[in-house]
Structure 1
Amino acid sequence: MSARPMPCDAAELSTLFLFEKLNAEQLERLCREGRVEQFEPGPVYSEGDPATCFYVLLEGTLVMSRRVGADDVEISRSSQRGVYAGAMQAYLAGPDQAFYKGSVRVTEPSRFFTLPAETFSAILRDWFPMAVHLLEGLFFGSQNTQRAIGQRERLLALGSLSAGLTHELNNPAAAAVRATSTLRDRVAHMRHKLGAIASGPYARDTLATLVEIQERTAEQVAKATALSPLEASDREDALADWLDDHEIAGGWQLAPTFVQAGLDTDWLDQVAAAVDEQTLEGAVRWLNYTVETELLMNEIEDSTTRISHLVNAAKQYSQLDRAPYQVADVHELLDSTLLMLSGKMGSGIKVVKEYDRTVPRIPAYPGELNQVWTNLIDNAVSAMGGEGTLTVRTALDRDQALVEFGDTGTGVPPEIRDRIFDPFFTTKPVGEGTGLGLDISWRIVVNKHHGSLQVQSVPGDTRFQVRLPLTATDTSEEPS
């Protein structure tokens, strides 16, 4: 940075809103201990440099920016006399205040009144001792409040997710319990029927054939495919007619089970060929127990697999067994979050996935990204009032991965669009939102992953777009 020193005029300082209430002695001290400098177009200071000065614009145009990955993102631009920047928190003693939080450049020759950080701090403490204490309390109190409410936000999300997960787990668990109870009863009947067959007039060869048919039946059940309602009805009628023709009582009760197992009249013909007419009914009922047993075991397997899938999704979502920073598949993270939130979304929300599977795995903090997905999906569901379409899209956007959440809700009004990422800003009723969901999301995406979070919105089509670098940045360590 290059600056040309210029004379300091106390009268000029008095016209600035920051200094207009100061007396002549105070204004003279500012001129004596500070300086006026003119900067040519270019940088005034850079983010991360030691915070050595407090700057007040006298004339010209300044641009404030923050670094996001390899880019400088413009935060604000102003030509208003008296706007200030630089070591604004030099009165705080913490080491975090010793570095510039952003960058400032000028777009035209611009004059600044400049105070060294130490002088700025001393003047504040000399002239406004009570105000300094109030500012310190406000600054640290705001930090503590934000931290506490952030924890509360995460706990609320966890409670909601836990309720949804409990609901999702309850259905397959209850199905497994019911199937196990029924299976116990069927096995008991099967043992009884097996005893009756063993004591009956079955030849050794007949029993061997029945056992062979039983094995083939079990294999057929495992390979059974779902039929259309019309096909299933026609097959049930055919099986019921076959059973009635062979004088097997209650054929209409046995037929649906055989159809569900993928069996037909050809299978019954094989059974009839293996035994004589007097023992056919006993053999059919014994094999019916085999079919029921296999179907129940399939149901138990499906239920326990569903439970295992849900538990794995919960582990994937929480990342409890993963390294905090790793190379991750955004689609796996999105799927686990959608599954965890499915109970909360309800039947009125249609989820559409438009995944570009060419998007590579990216270096990330997966647990933190899942929190971002949760916040954005939760906002979308709230905006739609429980009815609408949530579209989750991924794509490659040059050297970044794009993750977009679209909803068909009422949209974000233009007058608040610039404020939705501010801490504690919320449009939800009192008690229903902390106003930190989008702020936390922005911090995770921008500060922690060096990406960007933007919104595009018109009524019926709101899109929150997260862009993340495909490669690790120079600052892979977690920022404070």
Structure 2
Amino acid sequence: MSDPSKLFDMPLFAGLSAERRQWVRENLSEHRLKKGEILMHEGQTVTHQFVLLEGELLTEKRVAGRQVIDDTRSAPVSVAEASLLAGMPLPLTFSANTDCYLISLAESTVRTLMNECEAFGKQIFRSMYGRISAYDTFILSGEKLAALGRLSAGLAHELNNPAAAVARAADGMRDALDSLHRATRALVLCAMPVDVMETLDTWARRAPPAIDATPAGSLRRSEAEDRFAQWLSTHGIDKPWLMAPRLVAAGFAPEEFEPLTARVSREQFSAGIRWLAATFEMRFLSEQTWLGAERISEIVKAMKSYSYMDQAPLQEVDIHGGIEDTLTIMQHRLKHGVVVTRDYDRALPPVPVYGSELNQVWTNLIDNAIDAMDERGELTIRSHREGNCAVIEITDTGHGIPADVLPRLFEPFFTTKPPGKGNGLGLHIAYRTVVHRHEGRLGVVATEVGTTFQVRLPLVHRHAPGG
């Protein structure tokens, strides 16, 4: 038979007088939960302190859109007192991991005990301090891992595009190399005149013109390819639609080939055209392979620099380099419609910082700015010096921040984003990193046409700040 008097075996209630114990018995409520039942949901308002006297509770937290197990709490243990006394929403979901027996005390009862029983107050604050410290470490570590997961997913997407381009180009090179081999053999067998071969060789080394990527330019290019294919067809070229696009991209027009048709046989002209088109195709595919490999190298280099791999945690760094590395690895979020404008003071000296931690600040602030603009707008990043501080400003053209929200912006778990979009830790982590780790300042100025986050970092590192 469950007995609520077990409550007074706990250190939290052991110091109560006999009279006060009787008063508590008269003011408590008893509760029973079956395994799997929910006691309290994350985010709800807490009205009672609960004490688990039998069984085990499971605590969970929603991180980055998914439910993450935090801990298990075995009887006897008090829960929810921190949220109750602070008047804050519950940060965890509590459910029964086994069949449970609990008692609850209303807020008025708890506050009476706090005011009249010194031993109760000391024990409850000691319990709250230990639990909050452990929870702080857990949830911040979880958020950093979640942020790393989001970053990794974005990087994987960014790396996939150039990797796929390299694979396509390498695959195309097989066919292009076969075509070039057949075309070269045809040139030899048809005894191409030396002077014509020299002309073809000169043309093959011609640098291609810049591509007009506008809709009008694409239309003109398509029309030019059709005309070229028709012209090649009239001169006996088989499958001219395969060669016309590459010759047009190289800057050729049928008029340049007219003199050549009068100097060689139809067989020689066909061999020359095929060799020229195959040469340009190989050059194009080689260029695509090089561009893809360069992009992959750029991303990997930026990620290594972003994480300060194999480097000391605290060092003097170029602030702009860290921001650029961050922009590179966040390209998957920028490319849908965000224009980045830079206004850097390149005269800024290196700043003593924890490089990888500061880069997470840039990540959180830029990510927040992109969300504020719904992924479309102008992101402006400025830097300048004020006295002994480097100042970095990140401005978006989003819908701004309401005045009543500004005072709570850096609070943990405070967010104006819809469920699953954010959990209110990104700006809190940025604030802790700037203020506590780097002895700097993080402020915000919001208007109806955008928001500016301002980071101030001392140019002289006074001492190693605590975590």
Do the structures match in fold with TM over 0.5?
yes
Distance in 1 (alpha carbons) for counterparts of 2:388 and 2:170: 53
1:181 paired to 2:171: yes
Mapping of 1:211-360 within 5 angstroms?
Answer: 212-213=198-199, 215-221=201-207, 224-227=209-212, 229=217, 232=221, 236=225, 243=232, 246-251=235-240, 253-264=242-253, 268=257, 275-345=264-334, 347-360=336-349
Distance in 1 (alpha carbons) for counterparts of 2:201 and 2:162: 28
SS in 2 for 1:220: coil
Asked whether the equivalents of residues 160 and 344 of structure 1 are also in contact (C-alpha less than 8 Å), the reply is: no
Identity percentage over the alignment? Answer: 37
Aligned counterpart, 1:106:
none
Distance in 2 (alpha carbons) for counterparts of 1:360 and 1:263: 51
1:123-149 Cα offsets, whole Å, 9 max, x none, are x9xx83343232222112212211111
Asked whether the equivalents of residues 236 and 266 of structure 2 are also in contact (C-alpha less than 8 Å), the reply is: no
Asked whether the equivalents of residues 190 and 267 of structure 2 are also in contact (C-alpha less than 8 Å), the reply is: no
1:421 paired to 2:410: yes
1:176 is displaced (CA, Å) by: 1.5
Mapping of 1:41-440 within 5 angstroms?
Answer: 128-198=118-188, 200-202=189-191, 206=193, 210=197, 212-213=198-199, 215-221=201-207, 224-227=209-212, 229=217, 232=221, 236=225, 243=232, 246-251=235-240, 253-264=242-253, 268=257, 275-345=264-334, 347-430=336-419, 432-440=421-429
1:437 is displaced (CA, Å) by: 2.1
SS in 2 for 1:466: strand
1:217 is displaced (CA, Å) by: 4.2
Question: CA 1:216 to 1:224, structure 2 compared with 1: closer, same or farther past 3 Å?
Answer: farther
Question: CA 1:291 to 1:348, structure 2 compared with 1: closer, same or farther past 3 Å?
Answer: closer
Question: CA 1:144 to 1:345, structure 2 compared with 1: closer, same or farther past 3 Å?
Answer: farther
Asked whether the equivalents of residues 388 and 407 of structure 1 are also in contact (C-alpha less than 8 Å), the reply is: yes
Distance in 2 (alpha carbons) for counterparts of 1:378 and 1:366: 18
SS in 2 for 1:463: strand
| 1:219 maps to amino acid | R
| 2:210 maps to amino acid | T
Q: CA RMSD in A?
A: 3.1
SS in 2 for 1:392: strand
1:145-173 Cα offsets, whole Å, 9 max, x none, are 11111111111111111111111111111
Question: CA 1:286 to 1:385, structure 2 compared with 1: closer, same or farther past 3 Å?
Answer: closer
1:40-61 Cα offsets, whole Å, 9 max, x none, are xxxxxxxxxxxxxxxxxxxxxx
Aligned counterpart, 1:473:
461
Structure 1: 5+ residue stretches without partners: 1-123
1:445 to 429, 434, 437: 434
Deviating runs (4+, > 6 A) in structure 1? none
Asked whether the equivalents of residues 214 and 290 of structure 1 are also in contact (C-alpha less than 8 Å), the reply is: no
SS in 1 for 2:245: helix
Question: CA 1:266 to 1:401, structure 2 compared with 1: closer, same or farther past 3 Å?
Answer: farther
1:428 is displaced (CA, Å) by: 3.2
| 2:326 maps to amino acid | T
1:209 is displaced (CA, Å) by: 6.0
1:404-433 Cα offsets, whole Å, 9 max, x none, are 111233322222322222333333345543
| 2:171 maps to amino acid | S
Distance in 1 (alpha carbons) for counterparts of 2:124 and 2:290: 64
1:259 is displaced (CA, Å) by: 2.3
1:249 is displaced (CA, Å) by: 4.8
| 2:137 maps to amino acid | R
Larger Rg: 1
1:299 is displaced (CA, Å) by: 0.9
TM-score (norm 2): 0.66
| 1:136 maps to amino acid | R
Distance in 2 (alpha carbons) for counterparts of 1:431 and 1:235: 50
1:463 paired to 2:462: no
| 1:188 maps to amino acid | D
Distance in 2 (alpha carbons) for counterparts of 1:185 and 1:251: 17
Distance in 2 (alpha carbons) for counterparts of 1:274 and 1:356: 62
1:290 is displaced (CA, Å) by: 0.9
Distance in 2 (alpha carbons) for counterparts of 1:154 and 1:378: 14
Distance in 2 (alpha carbons) for counterparts of 1:412 and 1:226: 42
Asked whether the equivalents of residues 407 and 463 of structure 1 are also in contact (C-alpha less than 8 Å), the reply is: yes
Question: CA 1:361 to 1:276, structure 2 compared with 1: closer, same or farther past 3 Å?
Answer: farther
Q: Aligned residues, how many?
A: 348
Tell me which moved more, 357-366 or 460-469. 357-366
Structure 2: 5+ residue stretches without partners: 1-113
1:247 is displaced (CA, Å) by: 4.6
SS in 2 for 1:369: helix
Asked whether the equivalents of residues 413 and 425 of structure 2 are also in contact (C-alpha less than 8 Å), the reply is: yes
